[in-house]
Amino acid sequence: MKQRQLTWLSDAEWARIEPLLPRGRKGAHRVDDRRVISGIVHMLKSGARWRDCPPEYGPYTTIYNRFNRWSRQGIWLGMFEALTGHNGIWGTVALDATHIKAHRSAGGAKGGPSQAIGISRGGRTSKLHGLTDAQGRPRLLMVSAGNINDMTMAGAVIEKAAGRFDRLIADRGYDTNAIRAAITAQGAQVVIPSTASRRAPIPYDRDAYKARNLVERLWCRLKDWRRIATRYDKLARNFLAAALIPAAITYWCN
């Protein structure tokens, strides 16, 4: 295995991540953080089973336990929010969602439907919902069952992003009075084309709408990571963490 493939994270990327790692915790001294996190990154990219993790990264149990424990403790989310400047003003954002096929190994977790796997005509699926800024960088990611309508989750996404955007772009699938009202309540401009069912189409900024493709590009880049393109994780929080890590590395560590 080549050294670049082994470490995955460049010196510049590691310099952004290392200061965000938890420090001063009780318990046994952690093994090499860079090696273990590189092992996690490798597994997310390759889509392999955790037990098939190359031994150069250390025991696969160490790699998985670190990923799972930090997911449970919210550390991956905290790192993502620290890198993105979660509390700042985002300006223009684009909203969209994408389906993720759930592998059979993703089933069987305690909690059943609460683990964000739904059954529809497309089989067992989950969805990622996201907001990107005007540069196409992910600012917010959420997960739901695949049979949950995008409009149903839009309110939760908008609420979580409250006060951080001044214009929201979305396709006509989000054209409901409730979603428009939620955006307007934030003091933001609505850039959503009207559906054919509206008797009186609502005008929108067509030039601004051209930026909606940025969120589509986000899904394409995240799905280059095979554990994102197909969901293998039983727990919804672990699948979300598996999306937050590549989102942070791809867009915010360079």
pTM: 0.92
What's the token pair of residue 229?
């393109």
CA 35 to CA 7: how far, in whole Å?
Answer: 7
Tokens 């030039």 belong to 207
Q: Evaluate whether 80 touches 254 at the Cβ level (below 8 Å).
A: no
Dihedral sign computed on CA atoms, order 175, 113, 80, 164: positive
Please give the pLDDT value at position 1. Answer: 45
Please give the pLDDT value at position 222. Answer: 97
Average pLDDT for runs of 10 along the chain of length 254: 64 92 76 92 96 94 96 96 89 96 90 81 92 95 94 94 94 96 95 95 96 94 97 97 96 88
